Structures are given as C-alpha cells and as structure tokens.
C-alpha cells in the first residue's frame, strides 16, 4: 500500500521537485544552517522587523506590565476565544484605513480559503487573476461559485469576461493580489476599481506582500494608488513585513457580520494566540517610524534590478520581490546550490508554486542589504548567465 507513496516521492526527486524541511535558525538578516551562515534572500521580512531589538525589548516590557495576560486563546472566537486584544487590533486596523470594519483571522491562508466561499454561492461568479496565490486558488476550489481566470494583469481580458458573463450572475467578485508574490509586479488597482464600478461588481485585493511596505504609511498598494475606499475587501497578512502571524480583511460592517456568521475557518478554528495579537499591535503602533526602512527597501531593490537589467537580464516586476527565472527545475536547483556555496540563502521556487518551465530563484529584499552584498550576488548571477 505504501509503495504508491514511495514511488511518487521518487518521481518528485527525479523531476527535481522534491521538497524537504531544513532545520534552520535565523535572526532575520542571516540564516544559520549546519554550521554555516547565509545572507537571507528568501524571507518576507521586508522591513527587517524580526531582528529589531528595540521593538522586541519594548514588547517584552509591555508583557511584564500585563499580569492578567494569558498565553492561549483556548477556543474559536465564537466560543470563548474572542479576547479584548483581538478586537482592539480590529478597531486599530479600521481606524488606520479609515474604513468601517476589520476582521482578524489566524492566517492569510485562512482568510483566502474562507472569505470567498463564505460570500458566494452557485449564482455567483469569481474572476481571478491567473497568477493569484495558492491560498486564493484553494478558496476558489471551496466556493460554489463559477470561477474563471483572467490573463495576468490583463484588464482587457477581464472586461471581455465581464461583458460576456456579468448579466448571468447575481454577484461577481474580481480577485487579485496587489504585489504578486512570485513575480513582484503590481496589479493595476485604479483600473480594477474603474472596472468594478462600471460593471457593479465587488473587488477583493490580497495585499500580503504590500502591507507594511507600500504606501506612505505602509497600508499597501491600495494606499499608494489612492484606492482604499474603492476596494470592497482589502486582505492583508501579519506574517510577512509585520514579522508576526495572522491576517485581516478591511471591509464594511455588513460583510464583517456576514463573515462572522458564515466563514468556516473563522468559526471552526481556535483563535490566534493573544501573544501574536499583542506583538502585531506593538508593531503597528510603530508603523509611522518605518518610513526610512521603506525608502531603503526601494533603494536596495531598485539598485539590484537596474544593475541586472543593465547586464541584459529580463526582470519581471517592480518591487522588493525580484524573480530570477531559470526555466527548468534542475537548472534552478543548481543555481540555488551555487548561491548557497557563496553564502546566499536563495531557495528555488518550482511548479506548482509557479507555472511549469518557469522555476525561479525568488529574491526578496530587506532594507539592510549592503551594495557590496548585492554586487557579489549580481556577479555570480552574471557569471552563471554567460
Ligand atoms: C499572496 C499571499 N496571500 C496569502 C498568503 C498566506 O498568508 P499566511 O502566510 O499568513 O498564511 C501568502 C503566503 O505566502 C501569500 O503570498
């Protein structure tokens, strides 16, 4: 009986697609693995908050002043797990976005597999960008709605689908990421808002890789493009630039109430632990002070991107995520190993995370990479490319 599984794992190994867990230690900037130190180009710690000693000390001091603090939420929010701090965080988020309501979840994965199925039924249609994250795809699978994908970032194709289908469905929801996790490019949020208003449909935007980074105050690409009030569901996560865990949606009060009554991952899972929520609140309280990190992040990633382009690389995107597309899995794994030997932690991303034949090294930037560190990485990539 077990042979089937062993055979499958062997096939994965032959295809260069075998995944394994490595036991690592990290202080944010560096990864420590098997007695070696690597510069960490594979995390989503875009502002360097995991290793921010001041924030950490402040936070631990706050905990000392909370004698009633408990470590577990102990049940779903609908039972006994709806503690004060979780609502404090929701009120804080709603205020930051100047919108009616926010709802917090255990993770971005929970948000994406829960919100769309809760909001839709067989009379509805979901139109999702071709490159949306696996968690959104799983949400589409769990939904009873009809789902269609529009070509990546192609507003004309989206409009053609709306012209064809809008009249046949009760509600239609357009779904996109704002900064795409694997390509690092931006959705055209203003154009998507125009379209959603023109066809009287809803818009759902996953800001996982933009929250904390984009926009004057870090609220995301929706802030940078002045679209906050035009998007029906702004989803963000705390596990990336915020260096915590959990997620939220910014929406109106009716949708918040509706989700509380219908969203299965919210109803049927133990609420996120209070310590994570307190840490998230602590980080968000310091949000205004990260504008230097945001600027440095833009500078370091632009520096690298421009140099790569000058050396003849075709680089997708325009953000702190820079993919080096290698093509086949084996080529990508070999490049990753070479970079590892040179002290860079840059893991290969393969199918099904990205399309077949588009395996890549996904480089994610931090504000504290130096030009020297970036130049050395660049030289290795250029040598490999020749
Ligand atoms: C675009 C996007 N949305 C959602 C998620 C899931 O978020 P979380 O890690 O909080 O489950 C990810 C994770 O990588 C992501 O890239």
User: What atom in ligand 1 is closest to the CA of residue 109?
Assistant: 11
Do residues 252 and 185 both lie within one domain? yes
CA atoms within 13 Å, Cβ hemisphere of 93:
28
Do residues 44 and 76 both lie within one domain? no
As a whole number, mean pLDDT of residues 116-129 equals 98
As a whole number, mean pLDDT of residues 26-53 equals 95
Do residues 265 and 303 both lie within one domain? no
Do residues 118 and 42 both lie within one domain? no
pLDDT 10s digits, 366-380: 999 999 999 999 999
Per-residue pLDDT band for 2 (boundaries 50, 70, 90) equals very high
Domain edge (last residue) among 246, 270, 285? 285
CATH number of the CATH domain containing 119: 3.40.640.10
Per-residue pLDDT band for 316 (boundaries 50, 70, 90) equals confident
Which structural domain, as residue segments, surrounds residue 203? Answer: 70-285
Q: Which two tokens stand for residue 341?
A: 């030997």
pLDDT 10s digits, 97-113: 999 999 999 999 999 99
* Residue 65 forms part of a structural domain: no
Which pLDDT does position 117 carry in this prediction? Answer: 98
Is pLDDT of 309 > 90?
yes
* Residue 229 forms part of a structural domain: yes
Residue nearest to atom 9 of ligand 1 (CA): 108
Q: With 0-12 CB in 10 A as exposed, 13-18 as middle and 19+ as buried, what is 102?
A: buried
Per-residue pLDDT band for 15 (boundaries 50, 70, 90) equals confident
Is pLDDT of 312 > 80?
yes
- How far apart are the C-alpha atoms of 119 and 91, rounded to whole Å? 22
Is pLDDT of 21 > 90?
yes
User: What atom in ligand 1 is closest to the CA of residue 133?
Assistant: 1
As a dihedral over the C-alpha atoms of residue 321, residue 322, residue 326, residue 332, rounded to 10 degrees, the angle is -50
The answer to whether 103 touches 252, Cβ cutoff 8 Å, is no
Is pLDDT of 288 > 80?
yes
Task: State the distance from the centre of ligand 1 to the C-alpha of 167, rounded, in angstroms.
Answer: 32
Which pLDDT does position 209 carry in this prediction? Answer: 98
* Residue 58 forms part of a structural domain: no
Which pLDDT does position 152 carry in this prediction? Answer: 97
Contacts for 74-79: CB closer than 8 Å, 24+ residues apart: 74/270, 75/270, 75/271, 76/266, 76/267, 76/268, 76/269, 76/270, 76/271, 77/266, 77/271, 78/260, 78/266, 78/267
Q: What number of residues does the chain have? A: 386
CATH number of the CATH domain containing 325: 3.90.1150.10
* Residue 260 forms part of a structural domain: yes
Element of type H or E holding 149: strand 146-150
Do residues 245 and 295 both lie within one domain? no
Which pLDDT does position 57 carry in this prediction? Answer: 95
Which pLDDT does position 184 carry in this prediction? Answer: 96
Which pLDDT does position 238 carry in this prediction? Answer: 98
Residues with CB under 6 A from ligand 1: 107-109, 112, 133, 135, 177, 181, 206, 208-209, 237, 239, 247
Q: At what angle do helices 253-262 and 108-119 cross, to 10 degrees?
A: 100
pLDDT 10s digits, 211-239: 999 999 999 999 999 999 999 999 999 99
Which pLDDT does position 257 carry in this prediction? Answer: 98
Which pLDDT does position 329 carry in this prediction? Answer: 87
Do residues 170 and 214 both lie within one domain? yes
Do residues 182 and 121 both lie within one domain? yes
Do residues 308 and 278 both lie within one domain? no
How many structural domains are present in the chain? 2
As a whole number, mean pLDDT of residues 324-353 equals 92
Task: State the distance from the centre of ligand 1 to the C-alpha of 168, rounded, in angstroms.
Answer: 32
Domain edge (last residue) among 285, 314, 336? 285
Helices (DSSP H) in 120-252: which residue ranges? 134-142, 155-165, 189-198, 221-224
As a whole number, mean pLDDT of residues 251-278 equals 98
Residue nearest to atom 16 of ligand 1 (CA): 181
* Residue 84 forms part of a structural domain: yes
Residue nearest to atom 10 of ligand 1 (CA): 108
* Residue 47 forms part of a structural domain: yes
Residue nearest to atom 7 of ligand 1 (CA): 108
Is pLDDT of 385 > 80?
no
Which pLDDT does position 16 carry in this prediction? Answer: 81
| pTM higher than the cut 0.75 | yes
Task: State the distance from the centre of ligand 1 to the C-alpha of 240, rounded, in angstroms.
Answer: 8
Do residues 245 and 318 both lie within one domain? no
Do residues 111 and 142 both lie within one domain? yes
Do residues 79 and 159 both lie within one domain? yes
Residue nearest to atom 5 of ligand 1 (CA): 108
* Residue 59 forms part of a structural domain: no
Which pLDDT does position 73 carry in this prediction? Answer: 96
Do residues 218 and 330 both lie within one domain? no
Domain edge (last residue) among 285, 320, 343? 285
């Amino acid at each position: 009986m077990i042979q089937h599984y062993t055979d499958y794992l062997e096939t994965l190994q032959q295809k260069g697609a075998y995944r394994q867990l490595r036991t690592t230690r990290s202080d944010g900037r560096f990864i420590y693995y098997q007695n070696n130190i690597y510069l960490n180009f594979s995390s989503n710690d875009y502002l360097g908050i995991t290793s921010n000693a001041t924030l950490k000390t402040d936070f631990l001091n706050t905990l000392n002043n909370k004698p009633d603090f408990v470590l577990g939420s102990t049940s779903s929010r609908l039972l006994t797990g709806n503690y004060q701090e979780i609502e404090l965080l929701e009120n804080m988020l709603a205020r930051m976005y100047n919108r009616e309501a926010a709802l917090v979840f255990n993770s971005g994965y929970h948000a994406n597999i829960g919100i769309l199925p809760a909001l839709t039924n067989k009379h509805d249609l979901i139109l999702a960008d071709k490159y949306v994250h696996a968690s959104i795809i799983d949400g589409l699978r769990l939904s009873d709605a009809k789902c269609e994908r529009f070509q990546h970032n192609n507003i004309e194709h989206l409009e053609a689908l709306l012209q064809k289908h809008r009249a046949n469905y009760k509600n239609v929801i357009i779904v996109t990421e704002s900064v795409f996790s694997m390509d690092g490019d931006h959705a055209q949020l203003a154009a998507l808002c125009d379209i959603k208003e023109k066809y009287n449909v809803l818009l759902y935007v996953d800001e996982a890789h933009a929250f904390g980074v984009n926009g004057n105050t870090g609220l995301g690409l929706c802030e940078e493009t002045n679209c906050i009030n035009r998007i029906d569901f702004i989803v963000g996560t705390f596990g990336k630039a915020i260096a915590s865990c959990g997620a939220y949606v910014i929406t109106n009060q009716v949708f918040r109430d509706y989700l509380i009554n219908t969203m299965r991952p919210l109803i049927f899972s133990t609420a996120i632990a209070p310590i994570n929520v307190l840490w998230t609140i602590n980080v968000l309280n310091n949000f205004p002070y990260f504008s230097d990190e945001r600027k440095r992040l833009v500078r370091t990633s632009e520096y690298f991107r421009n140099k790569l382009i000058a050396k003849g690389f075709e680089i997708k995107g325009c953000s702190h995520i820079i993919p080096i597309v290698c093509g086949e899995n084996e080529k990508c794994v070999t490049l990753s190993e070479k970079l590892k030997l040179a002290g860079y932690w840059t893991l290969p991303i393969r199918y099904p995370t990205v399309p077949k034949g588009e395996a890549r090294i996904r480089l994610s930037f931090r504000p504290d990479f130096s030009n020297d560190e970036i130049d050395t990485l660049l030289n290795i990539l250029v040598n490999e490319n020749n």
